Amino acid sequence: MLDLAIIGLSPQHPRSFSQLINEENPNGEGLNGVARISMLWDRDRAAAEEFVAEHGLETVLDDPTAAIGKADGVLVLEDPGDTHLELARPYLEAGVPTFVDKPFALGIEHAKEMVRLAQAHDTPLMSSSALRYAREVIDFKAKEKELVGEARVAVATGPNELVYYGIHAAELFYTVMGPGIAWVRNEYTDEYDIVHVRYTDGRAVTMQIIRSARYGFLLNVYGTEGCAEIAVRDANFFYAEQMRNVVRMIQTRENPIPHEEMLEVIGMLVAAEQSGETGEQVDLSSVL
């Protein structure tokens, strides 16, 4: 059985991931018996001890590098993302398969450095929003040609702020539309970001991040043969499917997501943030 460690707590995901990996999952193929999260480090020792006791883990680690030589893989989960490089670096250098929670980083240079380290040390590295693995997206992709033909335009909508939470809406459309973004332009207000995304082949996406909106994600796709609406509702499935991919990465030491795509998604969000400050178009090449 794979032995895993959580490095850094955040409000929600450590709880969800621990339950999915350590307990039976009634919504699909469970991970219980394949992998187990057994150890945890957090800056707040008391919070770490409380979490370990609540979720049946075994060990509170004394420092953030203490899982090296003990864990088969690590999950770097600390919010909001500005410490991900700091916490992931020792594991990437040691060859320990590493999952970095969303967003991969808050700035592109940290994201690039994690990819560089992973490639230099031949270490599996994965980061994504769980919405990449939404059941509704998987179902759409299986019937995409029948439903819409060639997807040409999409509109993705989600709540909260642009980078830390907008990653969900971004990865939702990116999983359908794929790589190849040329530029972005953000119409920023205190209430929302309306981000226009243009692909090198002319395809277009509008991403609407509405700060006051309630939780929920919607993607409308328009193609040469029709249109489709993808409303993401099954959170249990997308978290479980994401964790299955993490465990598979650790087992096989193969990256489930190309590093170039991980960088393009976070680069697009960083470019959109820059555009929101100036109102000007930002070429993705100037960020990546």
Question: What pTM did the predictor assign?
Answer: 0.95
Task: Calculate the average pLDDT of the chain.
Answer: 95
Among residues 127, 153, 175, the one where a domain terminates is 127
What are residue 162's DSSP bridge partners?
none
What are residue 195's DSSP bridge partners?
186, 207
Strands of the chain, DSSP E: 2-7, 35-41, 59-60, 73-76, 98-100, 125-127, 151-159, 181-188, 192-199, 204-210, 217-223, 227-232, 282-283
Domain that holds residue 12: 2-127
For residue 211, being part of any structural domain is answered with: yes
CA end-to-end distance (rounded Å), the chain: 38
Q: Is the pLDDT of residue 26 over 80?
A: no
Q: Is the pLDDT of residue 24 over 70?
A: no
For residue 258, being part of any structural domain is answered with: no
**Judgement on whether residues 51 and 163 belong to the same structural domain of the protein:** no
For residue 252, being part of any structural domain is answered with: no
CATH number at residue 86: 3.40.50.720
For residue 261, being part of any structural domain is answered with: no
**Judgement on whether residues 147 and 69 belong to the same structural domain of the protein:** no
**Judgement on whether residues 165 and 281 belong to the same structural domain of the protein:** yes
**Judgement on whether residues 137 and 232 belong to the same structural domain of the protein:** yes
pLDDT of residue 96: 98
For residue 99, being part of any structural domain is answered with: yes
* 3-22 confidence digits (pLDDT tens): 999 999 998 899 999 988 98
pLDDT of residue 122: 98
* 190-237 confidence digits (pLDDT tens): 999 999 999 999 999 999 999 999 999 999 999 999 999 999 999 989
**Judgement on whether residues 18 and 35 belong to the same structural domain of the protein:** yes
**Judgement on whether residues 145 and 281 belong to the same structural domain of the protein:** yes
Q: What is the CA radius of gyration of the chain?
A: 19
State how far the alpha carbon of 25 is from the alpha carbons of 15, 22, 88, 232, 258, in Å: 14, 9, 28, 19, 28
